[in-house]
């Protein structure tokens, strides 16, 4: 039986969220916040209220009020991630942010972009297109499973730095393998060498502590619609002040050579992208209020315990070991947060298993292969309970023996 925090904090007692705070189907076991977060009822109400307010007078809302509203939202965002309001802008998703950055990089033939083989597929495709067009080269460092120590990871990645390395691109928390990478030391080394550092933190806001004042990166992007439970299409990109002038917008609009410039040209360039619904960005404050008033740190601890319990029980079921050490095996670094990727037998039919988990047991959870290894990725969020983990383990016990690839 798990020990669950009771919501006490230095500020007194705070309630933790329950399933009733969300609109998730009552019969659904939703273990996939890593793809799309579920929005709490109060956040959805705030979001829809913003949309209704906009429709009462769209010209006033978009033409006269939006600048101040967005500035307030960016101020709160900056405070949350450890940055100033002039150094962050809202974007629909981290993929958009990385596309913007990549298209502004003046890579030349022979330049190298250093990364790992654990990066998100959309990012791999973004980089692949750009290096093909410029003659640059991707250097993907293999990081085999199971990972061992943070020192080994850092040495493995840094060992591939060369005189041609121009960019270091790393996930802070990987999508396919759900591993927290030790990005701090690598970012520090790269910064000292003059290597441009981009961190994909799509899974970090609301999941792990983040203070951009202490992380020496040039670019950081994170999704707010995953673990922080903001409306879909709410993410951010941070750019270090010294590199902002290099980052032209994907869409040129009224913010370019603005008639009414604000305090940040970076914000002017990227905040105005033509007519679009700003409500997801403006509802960020409601999502942050919900998280902070419902014991965010306690939720993170409880959900991490659930994720580790899910890993332990599935490993026990399959007889396979974990893809990362337990905490006491590497005291300097925690590899696992609220999301964990768990090994499945090598001959598992991942497509069939994922479909049967949903069709037969109403469990929404990713099942995929990474580098040939079948994995089930379990995301434990504010609404996740022990019974959700029970249902997953029971379903795998039933399905695994009959969901095999004949020629594996």
Q: Is the dihedral of CA 79, 34, 389, 287 positive or negative?
A: positive
Pull the structure tokens for residue 232.
Answer: 């879909």
More confident residue, 254 or 78: 78
Percent of the chain at pLDDT > 90 equals: 88
Task: Mark out the alpha helices in 162-318 (DSSP H runs).
Answer: 183-192, 265-271, 279-282, 284-293, 296-318
- The answer to whether residues 335 and 180 touch, using CB atoms and an 8 Å cutoff, is yes
Residue 258's SS3 state is coil
Residue 146's SS3 state is coil
Percent of the chain at pLDDT > 70 equals: 95
Nearest to 380 by CA among 297, 287, 302: 302
Measured distance CA(45)–CA(277) in Å, rounded:
16
pLDDT given for residue 14 in this prediction: 78
Residue whose structure tokens are 């629909």: 92
Nearest to 354 by CA among 377, 379, 331: 377
- pLDDT tens, 172-228? 999 999 999 999 999 999 999 999 999 999 999 999 999 999 999 999 999 999 999
CATH number for the domain running over 46-289: 3.40.640.10
- The answer to whether residues 112 and 166 touch, using CB atoms and an 8 Å cutoff, is yes
For CATH 3.40.640.10, list the domain ranges present in the chain: 46-289
pLDDT given for residue 329 in this prediction: 56
- pLDDT tens, 129-139? 999 999 999 99
- The answer to whether residues 317 and 398 touch, using CB atoms and an 8 Å cutoff, is no
Q: Is the dihedral of CA 111, 201, 279, 265 positive or negative?
A: negative
pLDDT given for residue 7 in this prediction: 47
For CATH 3.90.1150.10, list the domain ranges present in the chain: 8-30+295-399
pTM of the model: 0.94
Q: Residue 356: count other Cβ atoms within 10 Å of its Cβ.
A: 18
Residue 108's SS3 state is coil
Measured distance CA(127)–CA(103) in Å, rounded:
9
When the pLDDT of each residue in the chain is averaged and rounded to a whole number, the result is 94
Q: Is 159 exposed, middle or buried (0-12, 13-18, 19+ CB in 10 A)?
A: exposed
Instruction: Name the CATH topology of 8-30+295-399.
Output: 3.90.1150
Cis ω for the linkage preceding 406 (within 30 of 0): no
Whether the predicted pLDDT of 315 surpasses 80 = yes
- The answer to whether residues 264 and 241 touch, using CB atoms and an 8 Å cutoff, is no
- The answer to whether residues 311 and 332 touch, using CB atoms and an 8 Å cutoff, is no
- pLDDT tens, 82-103? 999 999 999 999 999 999 999 9
- pLDDT tens, 326-358? 765 556 789 999 999 999 999 999 999 999 999
- The answer to whether residues 110 and 254 touch, using CB atoms and an 8 Å cutoff, is no
Whether the predicted pLDDT of 408 surpasses 80 = no
Mean pLDDT lowest among 11-25, 41-55, 387-401:
11-25
Pull the structure tokens for residue 128.
Answer: 């692949």
Distance of CA 193 to the CA centre of its chain: 27
- pLDDT tens, 138-147? 999 999 999 9
């Amino acid at each position: 039986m798990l020990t669950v925090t009771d919501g006490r904090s230095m500020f007194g007692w705070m309630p933790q969220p329950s399933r009733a705070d969300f609109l998730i189907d009552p019969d659904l076991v939703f273990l996939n916040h890593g793809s799309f977060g579920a929005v709490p009822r109060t956040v959805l109400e705030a979001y829809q209220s913003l949309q209704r307010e906009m429709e009462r007078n769209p010209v006033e809302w978009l033409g006269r009020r939006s600048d101040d509203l967005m500035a307030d939202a960016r101020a709160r965002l900056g405070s949350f991630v450890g940055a100033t309001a002039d150094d962050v802008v809202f974007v629909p998703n981290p993929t958009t942010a990385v596309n913007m950055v990549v298209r502004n990089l003046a890579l030349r033939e022979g330049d190298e972009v250093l990364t790992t083989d654990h990066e998100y597929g959309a990012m791999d495709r973004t980089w692949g297109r750009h290096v093909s067009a410029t003659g640059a080269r991707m250097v993907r460092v293999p990081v085999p499973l199971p990972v061992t120590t943070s020192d080994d990871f850092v040495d493995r990645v840094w060992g591939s730095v060369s005189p041609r390395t121009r960019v270091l691109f790393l996930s802070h928390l990987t999508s396919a393998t759900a591993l927290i990478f030790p990005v701090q030391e690598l970012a520090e080394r790269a910064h000292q060498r003059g290597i441009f550092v981009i961190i994909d933190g799509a899974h970090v806001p609301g999941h792990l502590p983040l203070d951009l004042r202490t992380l020496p990166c040039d670019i950081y992007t994170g999704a707010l619609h995953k673990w922080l439970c903001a409306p879909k299409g709410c993410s951010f990109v941070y750019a270090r002040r010294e590199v902002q002038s290099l980052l032209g917008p994907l869409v040129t609009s009224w913010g370019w050579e603005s008639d009414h410039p604000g305090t940040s040209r970076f914000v002017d360039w990227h905040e105005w992208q033509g007519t679009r619904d700003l409500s997801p960005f403006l509802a960020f404050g409601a999502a942050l209020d919900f998280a902070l008033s419902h014991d965010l740190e306690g939720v993170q601890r409880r959900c991490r315990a659930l994720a580790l319990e899910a890993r332990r029980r599935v490993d026990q079921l399959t007889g396979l070991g974990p893809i990362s050490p337990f905490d006491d095996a590497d005291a300097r670094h925690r590899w696992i947060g609220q999301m964990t990727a768990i090994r499945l037998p090598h001959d598992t039919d991942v497509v069939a298993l994922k479909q049967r988990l949903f069709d037969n047991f109403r469990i929404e959870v990713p099942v995929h292969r990474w580098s040939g290894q079948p994995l089930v990725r379990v995301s434990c969020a504010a609404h996740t309970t022990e019974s959700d983990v029970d249902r997953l383990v029971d379903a795998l016990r039933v399905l695994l023996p009959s969901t095999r690839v004949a020629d594996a």
